Amino acid sequence: MQIVSSKENELIKHIKKLKDKKERDNTNEYVIEGIKLLKEAIQEKANIKQIILCDDCEKTDNIQKELMYEIAKRDCIYVTKKIFNYISEVQEPQGILAIIEKNNINSNIDYTKDIIVALDNVQDPGNLGTILRTIDSIGITQILVSKGTADCYNPKVVRSTMGAIFRVKIIECEDLEKTLKEIKKHKFKIVVTSLQAEKNIYNIKYNKKVIVIGNEANGVEKNIQEISDEKVIIPMLGKAESLNASVATGIILYEYVRQKLENI
């Protein structure tokens, strides 16, 4: 068994380059790390290009035999602990990572759903990852992201999705306003949050709606607000004027869940 021990190895250099969005876009690949994410990738039949294992990392002993059996079926490369630490993005590596092909080949929007979520320039990777995890929790399988939104395949985003990245189709919009206008032709209404709104999130029905979540500092872009059909506000009893983007998304989407359950 060959064990890679050099930083000059072409695969090692490729993995390091995948830290950059430009390389991820060029190759249509991204990196996942850790036992749980790899297990999720296998279960969800993600296109795993290569698995990298640390030859002498203690934590690889925690990998279950069933998972090791699945790993052994794939293209695996072993590296030294020094090299693994060099390519790892986490403070306490578990000794396993993989290169995955993005699931963005089919960019068609599914109009059969009750609700669509669109992100308008959400910048924080932690927020983005949590939003992906939240929409996955209620069974939404697609999300629209504007060109100015943080990269969904950023390592921090991928980790914070807790596996949702494999189940949610990422639809990247070159022009979000244009995409939303097209969606309106399919009898969807655009809903945006606004501090000046008269309605609150509990005053509308969440059927055939596109929920647009805006930038953390500036909210939804003015041009998107102008084409919206409804503006809503999250009612707050305290002194805070706004909420974290991922928290706001969760509150709105779980009102959708409440209405859905009410009709069962």
Taking only the tens place, the pLDDT of each residue in 150-179 is: 999 999 999 999 999 999 999 999 999 999
Please report the beta strands in the chain, taking only residues with DSSP state E, as ranges in sequence order: 3-4, 29-33, 48-54, 76-79, 96-101, 115-119, 142-146, 169-173, 189-193, 199-200, 209-213, 230-233
The pLDDT assigned to 59 comes to 67
Query: Which of these ranges, 61-70, 97-106, 113-122, has the smallest mean pLDDT?
Result: 61-70
The pLDDT assigned to 106 comes to 77
* pLDDT more than 90, % of the chain: 80
* Residue 7 amino acid letter: K
C-alpha distances out from residue 108 to 29, 104, 146, 173, 227, Å: 20, 10, 15, 11, 22
Determine the average pLDDT of the residues in 144-151.
96
Place 60 in a pLDDT band, splitting at 50, 70 and 90.
low
Helices (runs of H) and strands (runs of E) counted in the chain: 10, 12
Model pLDDT for residues 105-143, shown as the tens digit of each residue: 778 999 999 999 999 999 999 999 999 999 999 999 999
Residue 252: DSSP 8-state: H
Q: How far apart are the C-alpha atoms of 119 and 214, rounded to whole Å?
A: 6
Q: How far apart are the C-alpha atoms of 192 and 150, rounded to whole Å?
A: 19
The pLDDT assigned to 183 comes to 97
Strand partners, 29: 101
pLDDT above 80 (res 96): yes
Residues 6 or more apart from 31 whose CB is under 8 A from it?
A: 15, 18, 19, 89, 97, 98, 99, 100, 155, 158
Model pLDDT for residues 217-262, shown as the tens digit of each residue: 888 999 999 999 999 999 988 988 778 899 999 999 999 999 999 9
The pLDDT assigned to 239 comes to 86
What is the SS3 assignment for 167?
coil
Note whether 156 and 128 are within 8 A (CB).
no
Q: Which domains does the chain have, with CATH numbers?
A: 3-101 (3.30.1330.30), 115-262 (3.40.1280.10)
Cα angle, residue 79 at apex, residues 78 and 83 outer, rounded to 5°: 160
Determine the average pLDDT of the residues in 44-70.
86
Nearest to 40 by CA among 114, 119, 132: 132
Place 194 in a pLDDT band, splitting at 50, 70 and 90.
confident
Burial level of 19, CB count in 10 A (0-12/13-18/19+)?
Answer: middle
Place 1 in a pLDDT band, splitting at 50, 70 and 90.
low
* pLDDT more than 70, % of the chain: 98
pTM over cut 0.85: yes
The pLDDT assigned to 42 comes to 95
What mean pLDDT value characterizes the chain? 93
Q: How far apart are the C-alpha atoms of 212 and 195, rounded to whole Å?
A: 14
